[in-house]
Amino acid sequence: MGVRQEDDINAKIIPPKEQEISDEIEIKVKKYLRGEGANLEVLHDKKLKGQLAVREELYGKSAKAAAKAEKWLMPSEGGYLEAEGIEKTWRIKQEAIAREVDILSRKNQHDIVLPELGPYTMNFTSSGRYMAVAGRKGHLAIIDMKSMGLIKEFQVREAVRDVVFLHNEQFFAAAQKKYPYIYNRDGTELHCLKEHGAILKLQFLKNHFLLASVNKFGQLHYQDVTTGQMVGNYRTGHGRSDVMRVNPFNGVIALGHSNGSLSMWKPTSSAPLIKMLCHHGPVSALAFHSNGHLMATAGMDRKIKLWDLRKFEVLQTLPGHAKTLDFSQKGLLAASTGSFVQILGDFSGSQNYSRYMNHSIAKGYQVRNVLFRPYEDVLAIGHSMGWSSILIPGSGEPNFDSWVANPFETSKQRREKEVKSLLDKLPPETIMLDPRKIGTMRPMRKKEKPSKQERDAEMEAAVADAKNSITRKKKTKGRNKPSKRSKKVQEAVERAKRPFLEEELSQKKKQKISEQSELPKSLQRFVRKTA
């Protein structure tokens, strides 16, 4: 017995390194578990108890698999600025950050001054490796952010209002003075989209291969870039709008209008899905969180509001004005006006944003656009004298998925990914407010009202059943006269007809009440009242 107990003790001994790893995985498992497990001991139904036990086991296995994936496949951890004592993070300057970071990160801090071609706007690919810049005076360029090398730049000799990459870095669209144009990375003009008109803003829906644009007359266009088909062309009815963003969660386009309202659109509907009043002045900026459930808006009433899109309620209202907004992959919010950029962060996890970092550009540089670079702690700022890049610790996702966005993608991988994304292309009908409804059963419709012929047929069948149900007693003396029999038949027919007649009468009353309610109050008193 003593030998066996000693063997059991030796079997339970785990090396300290493995014990540390197992403890770390257990902590991560608790994070992925859906709350505490169900108490199965109090259940008396054996079938239900077995089903819940199987489900709890599946939850535990999935949480353990997610914890192991986070441990071994996501080794990098994001970090934020941490202040000591009475020090504040928003007082830390970019020069102090540059002295502490490595050489590769320091390369991401730069200022490009092109005063004769600005103001500038920019756009990144989904992997964050390539950046397209567009100057208002006609300057277009593509830059490799990894090697900081210029791939191509050219001059279109007319105003450029916006630029956006298509499904990869090989193609991009530019909103020029009269029409939007599509170019390849060599600067060759491929298409002129004359149906769109004079475009103010462009957005690309990468899962649906749709190029969305809004022109200066308030017309919203959707065009499929694979077939060239115009999927949708709608008038918003709110005039000129230069505030436009796409929700990455569901592909819905949001437009901010000059009357303070915001509308959400999909390509298969000529009417907006949502209309909501956000501000008491024109909407000046708009941004969506990567999870699709949080939206930030800024208005000329000098307020920045954070909205919960699941309930369409305001979560937080911050004082201040912003001409441009953008969310990072980790949830930081950049807001800019004039030559001042402010970064807000939610560090408590309760959707309560507070000041995180500040940055002031050289006096006189007016910021036009701010954009976080994916998978890097970098914020790009387009202003009137060129563009700048600053370091924002904790803004980018530290681990990238090579199946989703690979910054080190080869040409062969890019071709394979392009073919796969075309095969997985989603139709425009899948764009909706809640895409989780796709694949679920549609709820049963209410029973339609029967027509007059059907009601008459039902009543005739009920009358025939009532007549046949009467039993005639032949032996009863004096009570089986023809007059008595006809009276019984008539009573049975009346009883059968009564529910149908009552239903018809109630419908007439409802119709009459609805007609009266349609009249204005001043005329309702002249309606003839019947007892």
**Res 349: pLDDT:** 75
Coarse DSSP helix, strand, coil percentages of the chain, rounded to the nearest 5 percent = 30, 30, 40
Which residues touch 96 (CB under 8 Å, ≥6 apart)?
none
Q: What distance in Å separates the CA atoms of residue 141 and residue 69, rounded to the nearest whole number?
A: 39
Kind and range of the H or E element at 218?
Answer: none
Q: What is the pLDDT of residue 463?
A: 81
Burial category of 379 from C-beta neighbours within 10 Å (exposed 0-12, middle 13-18, buried 19 and up): buried
Give the ranges where 14-125 is alpha helix by DSSP (H): 16-32, 46-72, 94-100, 103-106
Closest CA to 331 of 318, 348, 309, 314: 348
> What tokens does 410 get?
């080869």
Angle at 276 between CA 274 and CA 280, to 5 degrees: 160
Measure the CA–CA gap between 335 and 343, rounded to whole angstroms. Answer: 6
Taking only Cα atoms into account, the Rg of the chain, rounded to an integer number of angstroms, comes to: 34
Q: Which helix (H) or strand (E) covers residue 509, if one does?
A: helix 482-518
CA distance linking residue 524 with residue 510, whole number of Å: 16
- SS3 category, 256: strand
pTM exceeds 0.85 for this model: no
User: Alpha carbon 130 to chain centroid distance?
Assistant: 24
At residue 459, what are phi and psi to the nearest 5 degrees? -65, -40
> How many CA atoms does the CB half-sphere of 305 hold within 13 Å?
24
Per-residue pLDDT of the chain (531 residues; tens, 9 = 90+): 444 444 444 445 677 777 777 777 887 787 777 667 777 888 888 888 888 888 888 888 888 888 887 777 766 666 788 888 888 999 999 999 999 888 888 899 999 999 899 899 999 999 999 999 999 999 999 999 998 899 999 999 999 999 999 999 999 999 999 999 999 999 999 999 999 999 999 999 999 999 999 999 999 999 999 999 999 999 998 889 999 999 999 999 999 999 999 999 999 999 999 999 999 999 999 999 998 899 999 999 999 999 999 899 999 999 999 999 999 999 999 999 999 999 999 888 778 899 999 999 887 789 999 999 999 999 999 999 999 999 999 998 888 877 888 888 999 999 999 999 999 999 999 999 988 887 777 766 665 667 777 878 888 888 888 777 776 666 556 666 777 778 888 888 888 888 888 888 888 877 777 665 666 666 666 666 654
- What residues does each domain of the chain span? 2-73, 89-433, 458-524
Q: How far is CA 107 from CA 102, 146, 223, 393, 399, in A?
A: 9, 9, 38, 14, 20
Is 374 within 8 Å of 96 (Cβ atoms)?
A: no
How far is the CA of 427 from the CAs of 25, 57, 197, 226, 292, in angstroms? Answer: 40, 37, 25, 12, 20
Cα three-residue angle 323-240-258, rounded to 5 degrees: 55
DSSP letters for 424-472: TPPPGGG--S-GGGTTSPPPPPPPPPPPHHHHHHHHHHHHHHHHHTPPP
What is the SS3 assignment for 18? helix
**Local structure of 282: helix, strand or coil:** coil
Residue whose C-alpha is closest to residue 101's, from 408, 360, 378: 378
Tokens of 290: 């990567």
What pLDDT was estimated at residue 414? 92
The pLDDT assigned to 138 comes to 94
The pLDDT score that the predictor gives to residue 462 is 83
Token pair in block for residue 6: 């000693």
Classify strands 210-215 and 199-205 as parallel, antiparallel or unpaired: antiparallel
Task: Reduce the DSSP state of residue 278 to 3 states and report it.
Answer: coil
The rounded distance, in Å, linking the Cα atoms of 83 and 345 is 14
pLDDT, tens digit, 9 for 90 and up, residues 352-390: 899 999 999 887 789 999 999 999 999 999 999 999 999
Cis peptide upstream of residue 427 (ω within 30 degrees of 0)? no
Domain 89-433 has CATH 1.10.340.30: no
Q: How many CB atoms lie within 10 A of CB 141?
A: 22
Distance CA 288, CA 235 (A): 23
pLDDT number for residue 65: 85
DSSP class of 12:
H
Query: Closest by alpha carbon to 286, among 352, 333, 229?
Result: 333
Closest CA to 450 of 492, 497, 495, 507: 507
Whether residue 374 contacts residue 107, with contact meaning beta carbons closer than 8 Å, is answered with no
Quote the tokens at residue 215: 């022109």
Q: Are 302 and 274 a contacting pair, CB within 8 Å?
A: no
